[in-house]
Amino acid sequence: MEITDQEWKREQERVDDVTTKIGRRIRGLEAQVGEMRGDVVGLRKEFWDEVTMNFAEPDDLGETSTSMRQQSQVLAEREFGHKRAFSQLGKLRRLQHSPYFGRIDFREADESVTEPIYLGIASLLDDNEQDFLIYDWRAPISSLYYDGSPGAISYRTPGGSVEGEMELKRQYVIRDAKIRVMFDTGMTIGDELLQEVLSQSADDRMKSIVSTIQREQNAIIRNEQSRLLVVQGAAGSGKTSAALQRVAYLLYRYRDTLSADQLVLFSPNSLFNSYVSTVLPELGEENMLQTTFQAYLERRIGREFELEDAFDQLEYLLRGDVSEDGEYEARLAGIRYKSSLDYLEVIRAYREYLSEREMMFRPIRFQGHEIVSAEDMRRRFYEFDPTVKIPSRIEQMSKWLIKEVSEYGKSQRDEEWVDDQIQLLDSSALHRAYNLMRRKQKGAADTFDDFDQQREAAARMIVNDWLKPVRKWIKRQRFVDVKGMYRRLYKDESLFMKLSGGRPLPAMWHEVSRQTQDRIAKSELMFEDATPLLLLRELLQGFITNTAIRHVIVDEVQDYTPFQLEFLKRLFPRARMTALGDLNQAIYGHDSALDDYDPLLNLYGREESMVLRLTRSYRSTREITEFTKAMLPEGEDILAFTRSGEKPVLHRFAEDSVTGMEEAIAADIEELRKQGLDYTAIICKTQSECNELHQRLKDRLNTRLITKNTPAFEKGTVIVPAYLAKGIEFDAVLLHNASAERYSRESERKLFYTACTRAMHVLHLYAAGDVSPFVTGVDSELYEVH
Ligand SMILES: Nc1ncnc2c1ncn2[C@@H]1O[C@H](COP(=O)(O)OP(=O)(O)OP(=O)(O)O)[C@@H](O)[C@H]1O
């Protein structure tokens, strides 16, 4: 139904009224915040003046500390007040120009009054502190807006279900406090508005979607039942968007018990982390913790190994340098096996095995002397009752070893090397040594001239200092030779066979085992060995868990191996998990990653898990989605959003016409810029292809080369390897060299699909020589050839 002019006027008057009130509050709060800031600064400056300092007598120390505590409390309260007022101010400022985006008129059953509910990014009470001028989009009643249509309806609140009738559903676009668009809608949040939002240009930051959340996305956002929520969604279907709004929802819903630092997002890479980092602040929430699995591995594995990262592994695989010696195939076989649940079982069986025999230790050595031999340590380890858990035995052993080292230290004090070191001490160091000894021995004779006393003090200090690294090494349990034990797995075939308990060994076992041993001998760790080695270490030395985290969000979960998922579950024992993925975008196309969600659903058990699906793709135009989905064997399930654009274009070149291809790319980018599409990506298969192209284009075109070390995307034209463009989108994608030579292995299909689905408005493919079968396999009606 058309909205009458009178109605339009009434709505604008309401916007005026609300924004005037907001303006008034902002001014009031600004003055308050200014005052509070002054208070805090003053308090900080005068902190020490206000504290009663008295260190003269022991009794006065108590008084001093009470006074300090009181003063810090006052400061903390003011700081908290200031922070809260400041965040309230931010919220009001966000509301001022666009106070709300939706309205529903709802009449509760058995009530005669219909209440208009206006929805915005935060709630706002009227001056009477009773009536809501704006409801937060996350309030229970707001779910009606996303889920329902006019007619009989109900919504859930923590106290139960509320029945009633929705009499109106209206959408607005309000900018600078003026209603720009307004219409009444039926079932879904109107396509018109979505059309408008989606046809805008790409950004180097992700945007919030609160005003146009779709019903199936709302189910993800508000899901509270499942321990594990798995979202399988087509490319561009809003998985990441829904996940971020979900975080905002959880922070609101559990605002009294949950804080942003209890949620952690695992992203595919750090570029992506920066891409999504503005969504929550835009919604007035603090950002959750963000990390990558790689960062976690690096922190945990430390300096013991040179750790390969996932991108270098992928780069190696994608370059596909297949040589005669079978190196490449063996590596592939190794990756496949080492990511499997079969291998997880081998590692677990190894722990059981080690519990009874053949633990490996590193001897404790000092200056070439063996303080405790590996054999003695092993004997000691197996003297414990076998029911004592391995980590507890190791803990006990640390204590024993520290004692052994102390004893050894005592025996060294009269040695010649210690005398030599004493000669090198200056008088101040001697004094320090002596004072140290006096403090320790409390009643030692006060005769510093006494030569023996002096020497003893110095000897103690020297031996202690020299043994410090040994003690530290023991405390870190470095005497457990995890590296040796992991290596032995590959050295001792019969052991491996035994542990695998009849399950299949990796294909190309001999090559895999040689590769693994060689790398470990050089203290290099292939990416596929990192998680298994860490698991072995934790099984032996005890798990380091993080119990503070209550929600883990894993984006691009299809690229995780079952092994890694098991690890995440163990790492966050008290957390719920939201896992978002698209099995069609598995860039680790060597099937070590998930090919179905079974391993994921088995993590917490099916009863505690739920899978929700998103099938409509919002990112790309209909033409691009129709083209990309045709590349997939089961692509027909994917639905395109009704937004039209040009068909994708394939530019063909002769095999040797590299320059022709580059010139065409450069010219197209110029053209796109003229059309106002200035956030474009030239996507290549690998980093090395990107590097070369960047070199060749740099005099002709202003482009930015993206590598795994680039901290953030910026607007403009970028050259990026497909695997780093994951999760991101661009106005236009220009796919460099969609030739059969680059993309023809079945394992590369999903990577190719991922690259093409990054395009919002325009997709161009350039191929030198034969075209990739992934393109020629698509109905030729769906793209143009130039
Ligand atoms: N309900 C919505 N309203 C407005 N925009 C939406 C909505 N859902 C998704 N979008 C837009 O669609 C695009 C794709 O969303 P998003 O990146 O969250 O999808 P995804 O499923 O994570 O994609 P991919 O798996 O391909 O990385 C984004 O620009 C997002 O803003």
- SS3 (DSSP) at 1: coil
DSSP labels, 193-217 = HHHHHHTSPP-SS----GGG--HHH
497 lines ligand 1 (CB under 6 A): no
The pTM of this model reads 0.86
Element (H, E) at 28: helix 5-50
Q: Is 236 annotated as a binding residue?
A: yes
* Inter-residue contact 683 to 758 (CB < 8 Å): yes
pLDDT for residue 21 is more than 70: yes
CA distances from 760 to 459, 720, 745, 764 (A): 73, 16, 26, 12
Q: To the nearest 10°, the Cα dihedral for 79, 85, 91, 94?
A: -100
DSSP labels, 292-345 = EHHHHHHHHHGGGSEEPPHHHHHHHHHHT---TT-HHHHHHHHHHHHTSHHHHH
Query: How many whole angstroms from 206 Cα to the centroid of ligand 1?
Result: 9
Question: What pLDDT is attached to residue 40?
Answer: 66
* Inter-residue contact 216 to 188 (CB < 8 Å): no
| Other beta carbons less than 10 A from residue 705's beta carbon | 18
Can you give the length of the chain in residues? Answer: 786
* Inter-residue contact 298 to 322 (CB < 8 Å): no
Query: How many whole angstroms from 236 Cα to the centroid of ligand 1?
Result: 5
* Inter-residue contact 204 to 275 (CB < 8 Å): yes
Q: Tell me the C-alpha distance between 253 and 256, whole Å.
A: 8
Helices (H) and strands (E) in the chain, counts: 28, 26
Q: Tell me the C-alpha distance between 516 and 521, whole Å.
A: 9
Query: How many whole angstroms from 753 Cα to the centroid of ligand 1?
Result: 16
Higher pLDDT, 448 or 573: 573
Q: Is 235 annotated as a binding residue?
A: yes
218 lines ligand 1 (CB under 6 A): no
Given the CA of residue 207, which atom of ligand 1 is nearest to it? 31
190 lines ligand 1 (CB under 6 A): no
Question: What pLDDT is attached to residue 48?
Answer: 62
Query: How many whole angstroms from 635 Cα to the centroid of ligand 1?
Result: 18
**pLDDT class for 729, splitting at 50, 70, 90?**
very high
Q: Is 160 annotated as a binding residue?
A: no
Structure tokens at 159: 């106290």
Q: Is 238 annotated as a binding residue?
A: yes
Query: How many whole angstroms from 303 Cα to the centroid of ligand 1?
Result: 39
721 lines ligand 1 (CB under 6 A): no
Backbone angles phi, psi at 447, to 5 degrees: -120, 85
pLDDT for residue 745 is more than 90: no
Instruction: Report long-range pairs for 404-408 (Cβ below 8 Å, ≥24 apart).
Output: 404/364, 404/371, 404/372, 405/364, 405/366, 405/371, 405/467, 405/470, 405/471, 405/474, 408/366, 408/371, 408/467
584 lines ligand 1 (CB under 6 A): no
Burial of 25 (0-12, 13-18, 19+ CB in 10 A): middle
Question: What pLDDT is attached to residue 567?
Answer: 87
* Inter-residue contact 547 to 573 (CB < 8 Å): yes
**What's the average model confidence in pLDDT over 191-212?**
79
Strand bridging mode 132-136 / 124-125: antiparallel
Question: What pLDDT is attached to residue 190?
Answer: 55
* Inter-residue contact 464 to 429 (CB < 8 Å): no
| Other beta carbons less than 10 A from residue 577's beta carbon | 23
Given the CA of residue 202, which atom of ligand 1 is nearest to it? 29
Query: How many whole angstroms from 240 Cα to the centroid of ligand 1?
Result: 7
Given the CA of residue 244, which atom of ligand 1 is nearest to it? 18
Q: Is 239 annotated as a binding residue?
A: yes
Q: Tell me the C-alpha distance between 639 and 282, whole Å.
A: 29
- CA neighbor of 695 nearest in space, from 705, 686, 680: 705
Q: Tell me the C-alpha distance between 772 and 765, whole Å.
A: 10
Beta strands of 202-274 (E only): which ranges? Answer: 228-233, 263-267
**What's the average model confidence in pLDDT over 616-639?**
94
760 lines ligand 1 (CB under 6 A): no
- CA neighbor of 459 nearest in space, from 403, 407, 427, 415: 415
- CA neighbor of 682 nearest in space, from 741, 625, 765: 765
**What's the average model confidence in pLDDT over 154-163?**
88
Query: How many whole angstroms from 625 Cα to the centroid of ligand 1?
Result: 13
Structure tokens at 165: 């009738």
* Inter-residue contact 458 to 450 (CB < 8 Å): no
Q: Is 542 annotated as a binding residue?
A: no
Q: Tell me the C-alpha distance between 626 and 780, whole Å.
A: 12
Q: Is 226 annotated as a binding residue?
A: no
| Other beta carbons less than 10 A from residue 417's beta carbon | 12
619 lines ligand 1 (CB under 6 A): yes
- Average pLDDT over the chain, rounded to an integer: 88
* The amino acid at 486: Y
Question: What pLDDT is attached to residue 415?
Answer: 82
pLDDT for residue 187 is more than 80: no
* Inter-residue contact 693 to 664 (CB < 8 Å): no
**What's the average model confidence in pLDDT over 728-756?**
93
Question: What pLDDT is attached to residue 50?
Answer: 61
Q: Which residue from 241, 553, 632, 728 has its CB within 8 A of the most atoms of ligand 1, so it is best to mutate? A: 241
Structure tokens at 517: 């041993």
pLDDT for residue 69 is more than 80: no
Q: Tell me the C-alpha distance between 158 and 223, whole Å.
A: 13
pLDDT for residue 427 is more than 80: no
Burial of 700 (0-12, 13-18, 19+ CB in 10 A): middle
Residue with tokens 């030779």: 481
pLDDT for residue 652 is more than 60: yes
Given the CA of residue 189, which atom of ligand 1 is nearest to it? 1
Residue whose Cα lies nearest atom 27 of ligand 1: it is: 727
Query: How many whole angstroms from 162 Cα to the centroid of ligand 1?
Result: 31
- SS3 (DSSP) at 262: helix
171 lines ligand 1 (CB under 6 A): no
**What's the average model confidence in pLDDT over 730-741?**
95
Lowest mean pLDDT among 173-187, 480-494, 521-535: 173-187
Question: pLDDT tens across 351-388, in order?
Answer: 999 999 999 999 999 888 889 999 999 999 999 988 89
Strand partners, 116: 105
Q: Is 240 annotated as a binding residue?
A: yes
239 lines ligand 1 (CB under 6 A): yes
Question: What pLDDT is attached to residue 156?
Answer: 87
Higher pLDDT, 89 or 650: 650
Q: Tell me the C-alpha distance between 297 and 384, whole Å.
A: 32
272 lines ligand 1 (CB under 6 A): no
CA distances from 680 to 146, 201, 307, 675 (A): 33, 10, 33, 12
pLDDT for residue 151 is more than 70: yes
Query: How many whole angstroms from 268 Cα to the centroid of ligand 1?
Result: 16
Q: Tell me the C-alpha distance between 458 and 463, whole Å.
A: 9
**pLDDT class for 543, splitting at 50, 70, 90?**
confident
Question: pLDDT tens across 320-334, in order?
Answer: 776 667 888 899 899
Say which residues have a Cβ less than 8 Å from residue 148's Cβ, sequence separation at least 6.
104, 155, 166, 169
pLDDT for residue 57 is more than 70: no
**What's the average model confidence in pLDDT over 701-715?**
89
Residue whose Cα lies nearest atom 18 of ligand 1: it is: 238
**What's the average model confidence in pLDDT over 92-96?**
91
Question: What pLDDT is attached to residue 220?
Answer: 96
193 lines ligand 1 (CB under 6 A): no
**What's the average model confidence in pLDDT over 691-698?**
93
Given the CA of residue 233, which atom of ligand 1 is nearest to it? 21
Query: How many whole angstroms from 729 Cα to the centroid of ligand 1?
Result: 9
Structure tokens at 160: 């139960």
The 3-state secondary structure of 511-531, one letter per residue: HHHHHHHHHHHCCEECHHHHH
| Other beta carbons less than 10 A from residue 738's beta carbon | 25
- CA neighbor of 762 nearest in space, from 702, 677, 684, 660: 677
Question: What pLDDT is attached to residue 410?
Answer: 87
Given the CA of residue 237, which atom of ligand 1 is nearest to it? 21
